[in-house]
Amino acid sequence: MSLRAALSALALIATSAGAQQTDLTIALQLEPPHLDPTSAAAGAIDSVLYANVFEGLTRFTETGEVVPALAKSWEISEDGLTYTFTLQEGVTFHDGTEFDAEDVVFTLDRARAEDSTNAQKALYEGIDSVTATGPDTVAITLKAPDGALLFNLAWGDAVMVAPESIDAIKQTPIGTGPFMFRDWVQGDSITLVAYEGYWGEKPALSEATFKFISDPTAAFAAMMAQDIDAFAGFPAPENIPQFQSDPRFQVLLGSTEGETILAMNNAKAPLDDPIVREAIAHAIDRQAIIDGAMFGLGTPIGTHFAPHNPDYVDLTADSAYDPEEAKRLLTEAGIAEGLTLSLKLPPPSYARRGGEIIAAQLRQVGIETQITNVEWAQWLEEVFRGKDFDLTIVSHTEPMDINIYGREDYYFGYTRPEFRQIIADLTATANTDERSALLKKAQEMIAADHVNAYLFQLAFPTVADARLQGLWQNQPTQATDLTGVSWAE
């Protein structure tokens, strides 16, 4: 028995005797590159900090509902251009400084500034001004009505930060949440502790340690030995049945907002030719990837949209597995043989395992791949920012993010004006039926253009100690929200 397992056994005895356990060790596969959620596209940052350390004006619940957070209420002007927020009372940052309307101004002005490195900067470019109208009231004035503003403010990219602590945020994050940052042992763990001065309902946990275990085999061993209490996003789906049959554990099988795609560099030849992209799409057997890389966990998709969303259109037939059609299209494009493309794979299992399967499938139609495994920091630098790639596999876990296809400078280089107009029309309307029609039109356009090869919607399995309660099952945004987690008495 490991030391951790022995301590867990002692904790169980203590709990049965009336002492409630209040610490938690939870594992994730990916370690954040740094700890500023407002300046990077790495979802691993939100996985640790969203709702735990940092909070926004609004926030997502486990169901995806947008609810008040640091803003307790708001009013919208009749013309839809001005949102006036009333802030919660008695809120302080973890360094003891007061949170007020000026911090909202600072946060949102920073997010939309010309030199902003916020990954979702485009979501906030429609803001004309942010004004503190009192210590606890702030007015956001828009350039045009935006039916998604409250939704966009719930993203981890819009959490509230303060000018007093912003310089050190990447290593020492200071937020307003129920947990405060204690330390980061890089390559191993991040520890949070309950913030005694929290303005809202106090968490049941006094301390939470996030362990980072990238290797699926090591993840299985750590969980079986009970060296960890839970693993959110368990990376070895082939082992799920073993945990399901073990009474020490519970298994939560949830869904995510993660559209897993084979992203293609539309700005680089020969992938600037839609016929070549279509050929690649037809060369891919989605189900073989789901079965081989994810052991059956995942839902095939034919566009960049979550199947659980009521506006989803099933377009998988438009890019059905058809290697002969793929070969014909390559010949039509003047590429009968000899094409070699780079394939850069970030750390998650879906990418590394899926990449090997896709490479084999592409080889069957005459396309060779040069695989390079990269860490997240390298992926962000080379692929996301540097656009130095042909192909990559990534799961876009941000909620309702089809609008990224309307960004001219986005990493896969899709620049169709008609699509940008659809997104502009979508932003300008709050009418439910009109928004549904526009969302369907957007899905159909990017599927017809074969911007990327759409693989599957990422599942989210969590393995946990059977006594834990309050863990999120689903991932409406990338988060490990511990605010409602506790040990059963």
- Find out whether 453 and 261 touch, Cβ atoms under 8 Å: yes
pLDDT at 18 (0 to 100): 52
Q: pTM, whole model, 2 decimals?
A: 0.78
pLDDT at 41 (0 to 100): 66
| Token code pair at residue 219 | 């993840």
Q: Compute the average pLDDT of residues 18-47.
A: 89
- pLDDT, mean over the chain: 93
pLDDT digits (tens, 9 = 90+) for 193-212: 999 999 999 999 999 999 99
**Which amino acid, one-letter code, is at 139?**
A
Is 4 a residue whose pLDDT tops 80? no
- Find out whether 257 and 479 touch, Cβ atoms under 8 Å: no
Is 79 a residue whose pLDDT tops 50? yes
- Find out whether 54 and 32 touch, Cβ atoms under 8 Å: no
pLDDT digits (tens, 9 = 90+) for 335-379: 977 899 999 999 988 999 999 999 999 999 999 999 999 998 899
Give whole-number Cα distances, 36 to 104, 159, 243, in Å.
16, 10, 34
Q: Compute the average pLDDT of residues 222-226.
A: 98
pLDDT over 90 percentage in the chain: 81
pLDDT at 309 (0 to 100): 84
pLDDT at 7 (0 to 100): 45
pLDDT at 13 (0 to 100): 46
Is 11 a residue whose pLDDT tops 90? no
Using a 10 angstrom Cβ sphere, with 0-12 exposed, 13-18 middle and 19 or more buried, the burial of residue 180 is buried
pLDDT over 70 percentage in the chain: 96
pLDDT at 192 (0 to 100): 98
